[in-house]
Chain A
Amino acid sequence: GAVVSQHPSRVICKSGTSVKIECRSLDFQATTMFWYRQFPKQSLMLMATSNEGSKATYEQGVEKDKFLINHASLTLSTLTVTSAHPEDSSFYICSARRDRAYGYTFGSGTRLTVV
């Protein structure tokens, strides 16, 4: 199979602090991982594409200095929400693709609440 592990599943943080979310491919190597954001009752919006060993590619309107992405190995990508504010509260989901024919596998998601 193709398993993607995402941690933490839930996090509550105070406004102004930073939160790191990890996304790991457990049984395959992923040169590319994707980070999505989902607001309640809405679809997934791609935030950025994480590339192993290079800078992430951010979608238009996503602040790269606020949402730091690091893809230091073929099995791990991290998303750090810096100086979080209540409007950053959302469901964050990562995904990775084992190969083009297999399709994308999604992590279990992280529910971020900024208070």
Chain B
Amino acid sequence: ELKVEQNPLFLSMQEGKNYTIYCNYSTTSDRLYWYRQDPGKSLESLFVLLSNGAVKQEGRLMASLDTKARLSTLHITAAVHDLSATYFCAVDSNNDMRFGAGTRLTVKP
């Protein structure tokens, strides 16, 4: 059974700081997704990572995928308050997509 572990679950950081969210998964997959969810809202797609070594960047967020280590990271650079949200990774293996528990990020002034 595909399992996805995400950490940390809670992250409180100051504006301007850097931090990384980790996503480990248990079975072979080369498709990993990162989503953002604001309170009361649905999921917004951030990144689709399709191959080993894939790196994508959008603004202050950068995601990478290491399929050999079964690990993806979401790196936050110089955080700003607008990045406060819950971030989920999700892994797609043979049309079975499972979500991590989510990381609730709070960026404080």
The interface of chain A, by Cβ under 8 A from chain B, is 6, 32, 34, 41-46, 49, 93, 95, 100-109, 111
Contact = CB atoms under 8 A, between A and B. Distances in A.
Contact of A102 (B48, B88, B99, B104): B48
Contacts of B41: 108-109
Given A43-B100, A43-B102, A106-B43, 12 more contacts: A6-B42, A43-B101, A44-B99, A93-B43, A103-B31, A103-B33, A104-B33, A104-B45, A106-B44, A108-B42, A109-B41, A109-B42
A105 B48 CA distance: 11
Contacts of B101: 42-43
A93 B42 contact: yes
Contact size range, B: 20 to 34
Interface in B31-62: 31, 33, 35, 40-45, 48, 50
B67 to A, nearest CB: 16
Interface of B: 31, 33, 35, 40-45, 48, 50, 88, 90, 92, 95, 97-102, 104
